Structure 1
Amino acid sequence: MRHDLRHVVQQSPTKWTADLRRSLTASAIAASNTIEGYRVDPVDVADLLDGERDAVDASEENKAETLAYQQTMTYIQSLWDVPDFTYSKELLNALHWMLQGHHHPHRPAGRWRRKAIFITAVGDPHATEYEGPHEDDVPGLMAELIDWLNQGDLQADPLVRAAMAHLNLVKIHPWTDGNGRMSRSLQTLLIAREGVLAPEFSSIEEWLGLPGNTWEYYKVLREVGGPVYSPQRDALPWIRLNLRAYHEQTQRVQHRVKRSTDCWLTLAEHTERFHLAERQITALHEVAMVGRVRRSRYERAEALSNQQAVRDIQALTKAGLLTPVGNTKGRYYTAGPAFPADVLRIASRRHTITDPYQQ
């Protein structure tokens, strides 16, 4: 499935592939942050990635966490095809600084923790659900993990190996905060380093962030991890969960790719009818796929001047293809009364996700 998806992505028009990459990245960031209690809608995350901080209706804390995770993910995405890449203490701590540096020194970032770590049970701050290894053991455990990342089990299936990297890092819990997101990021990096799909198409963070899946994710982590650091425990339930996550998320991405492709091609069929420039399809495609577009986003996507972007959006609005929503500062555009109904039907097309391992 993943090799087939790679072929489809490589053969697709560059413009909508870039749009899809951005959307998948935003969904992964939103989902992983949601697991930790920082909630920003994926569409707003996409706006934040484009520098629209003032236009996004979210708390400053949530915005800061989103932008920090975006910085981390952007760097990870740049590492997937580096030929002389190696894992190191410095790399992991640098990634952690990108994620948590805005909390330093209140919550130390970019260095191993120097105190005990406890995970409390949901709803009961006095109940310990998991106790990480002693802080004096963290440097040695992390050195062992880094050696394994570089040299251990290299013949193992990359998807299984990536899942085990996630499990080992989150159970060592080497930092005072941000361990969950770092572990999920490390898993994404290992999958991407396999070379089949770029990180945006490889991450299972969106799947893990779905409410029912998040509950199961924590349940299996508790089952496999135990109440204290105990790496001798059976990891099979964890591998089973991850195999299901990989498969179901790949199905989700496949369906999204198909809808996105069909929307783009169908919009292209309407260019003559609406007297559209080819570049204007970009704005309409984003409306179809995510529900809205901002003028500034369209301007950057097509490398236009401000005046060109304004003229294009005004022309689309005058033609009834777009409808403005909100004031000047936070304004965005949704589908107008003349927006092609067939494109909207394609964008809202339903699909079924199946668990291939269910008996």
Structure 2
Amino acid sequence: MLYSTPRLEPADHQVLEQVDRMREQLRHAVRQVPMKWTLDLRKALTASAIAASNTIEGYRVDARDVADLMDGEREVEASDENKAETLAYQQAMTYIQSLHDVADFRYGKELLNGLHWMLQGHHHPQKIAGQWRKTAIRITAPGDELATDYEGPDHELLPGLMSELVDWLNDGDLHHHFLIRAAMAHLNLVKIHPWSDGNGRMSRSLQTLLIARGGVLAPEFSSIEEWLGMPGNTWEYYKVLRTVGGPVWSPERETLPWIRFNLLAYHQQAQRVQRRVDRSNDCWTQLMEWAQTERITERQVTALHEVAMMGRVRRSRYEKAEGLNTQQATRDLQALTKAEVLTAIGQTKGRHYVAGPRFPHTVLATAQRPHTIIDPYAAAE
């Protein structure tokens, strides 16, 4: 028996309908903007998701450094351990994103164990990866290692529970909205806790996979991991898992609070992404208009757009984004530096570029334009 999908109440249906509308509007908006910065935005959103999910587990790498690591840059301000965790999560996330449109896709134990190996294989054999745990497992309360927050089901039950979950992933509750199914997949996997480590990230990854398979948006726009990684939200995440899941495996418990928490996450993350798309689009338009008066090429605008939205750009990222060789990319960035549009920071290996004195301040102001995020449940009262 798994934790079962609850019956939604009118307020929940209203929030879900709003999420659907926002995701459809976002899909339309993304299709209308330049491909160059759309690719940058997708990479930035993936980096934010990876950074946030790792932060929940205590591994801290700035989203900008994650983006650099994704591009093959290794001179970033992070420990070797944090780099390893980031690169492992990137590998798993890249594979998950690639599965969004596979025609003959099926969930299976092998897929889940393979994803777990991508995430945790670098710890093997000290921490067994890619196979079910063979011992009992106890989850401690945040901030108190002596307090037991949750005890997972006996390891002898895992093959049966995971078979049931895989069957459900393929054929269960198909009449429910895919966002609801994604949330329930997350809850059941994290409560089964089938591996000795990495269960939280695997459960969030599985949710992202189900959302991506929904097909409404590109996978990079679909994850709520960035939202979950925000400090206040992380605390609420642990709280609702504890409240709904119970202290031991107890699938008879009411799961509607978990669904409502996820609907709030879907809604507020969609708001955040839409605001980011709006700011990014406005920055691109302003930079293109400004570049025409400054003898700056369109390809250089790509570097400036990265600085506006991410705070910095590296030569390697610019080189890949524009398909340049190292000499061309270096020449472009040196020209922008000489013109005081950019300022170089650091030595050759770790060098990056930030806004210089002549970078258009209106663009920076647009990139930092504040926004308000609403609680859809509060608005519905």
Question: Match for residue 79 of structure 2?
Answer: 59
After the TM superposition, which residues 334-349 of structure 1 pair with which residues of structure 2 at under 5 Å, given as runs?
334-349=354-369
Q: Percent identity?
A: 73
How far apart are the structure 2 equivalents of 1:328 and 1:118? 47
Render the CA deviation track for 1:88-123: whole Å, top value 9, x for unaligned: 011000000000000000000011111111101233
Question: Match for residue 293 of structure 2?
Answer: 273
- Stretches (4+) displaced over 3 A: none
Q: Which residue of 95, 99, 105 corresponds with 2:115?
A: 95
Task: Report the residue type matching 2:144 in the other structure.
Answer: D
- The Cα of 1:128 is off from its aligned counterpart by 1.3
Question: Match for residue 196 of structure 1?
Answer: 216
How far apart are the structure 2 equivalents of 1:198 and 1:230? 35
Q: Extract unaligned runs of 5+ from structure 1.
A: none
Given that 1:89 and 1:143 are in contact with CA atoms closer than 8 Å, whether structure 2 keeps it comes out as: yes
- The Cα of 1:177 is off from its aligned counterpart by 0.4
1:152 matched to 2:167: no
How far apart are the structure 2 equivalents of 1:333 and 1:282? 13
Higher relative contact order (CA 8 A, sep 6+): 2
Question: Match for residue 57 of structure 2?
Answer: 36
Q: Normalising by structure 2, report the TM-score.
A: 0.93
Render the CA deviation track for 1:163-193: whole Å, top value 9, x for unaligned: 0000000000000000000000100110111
1:17 matched to 2:42: no
How far apart are the structure 1 equivalents of 2:81 and 2:256? 37
After the TM superposition, which residues 158-173 of structure 1 pair with which residues of structure 2 at under 5 Å, given as runs?
158-173=178-193
Q: Which residue of 237, 244, 259 corresponds with 2:264?
A: 244
Q: Extract unaligned runs of 5+ from structure 2.
A: 1-21
Alpha-carbon RMSD across the aligned residues, in angstroms, is: 0.7
How far apart are the structure 2 equivalents of 1:209 and 1:8? 26
- The Cα of 1:36 is off from its aligned counterpart by 0.2
Render the CA deviation track for 1:196-227: whole Å, top value 9, x for unaligned: 01221010000000000000000000000101
1:86 matched to 2:106: yes
- The Cα of 1:124 is off from its aligned counterpart by 2.7
1:229 matched to 2:249: yes
How far apart are the structure 2 equivalents of 1:102 and 1:172? 23
How far apart are the structure 1 equivalents of 2:149 and 2:233? 19
Question: Match for residue 23 of structure 2?
Answer: 2
* SS across alignment from 2:232: helix
How far apart are the structure 2 equivalents of 1:75 and 1:47? 18
Render the CA deviation track for 1:299-343: whole Å, top value 9, x for unaligned: 111110111001100111111110001111111000011101111
Given that 1:274 and 1:319 are in contact with CA atoms closer than 8 Å, whether structure 2 keeps it comes out as: no
- The Cα of 1:140 is off from its aligned counterpart by 0.4
How far apart are the structure 2 equivalents of 1:273 and 1:319? 13
How far apart are the structure 1 equivalents of 2:313 and 2:29? 25
* Equivalent residues, number: 358
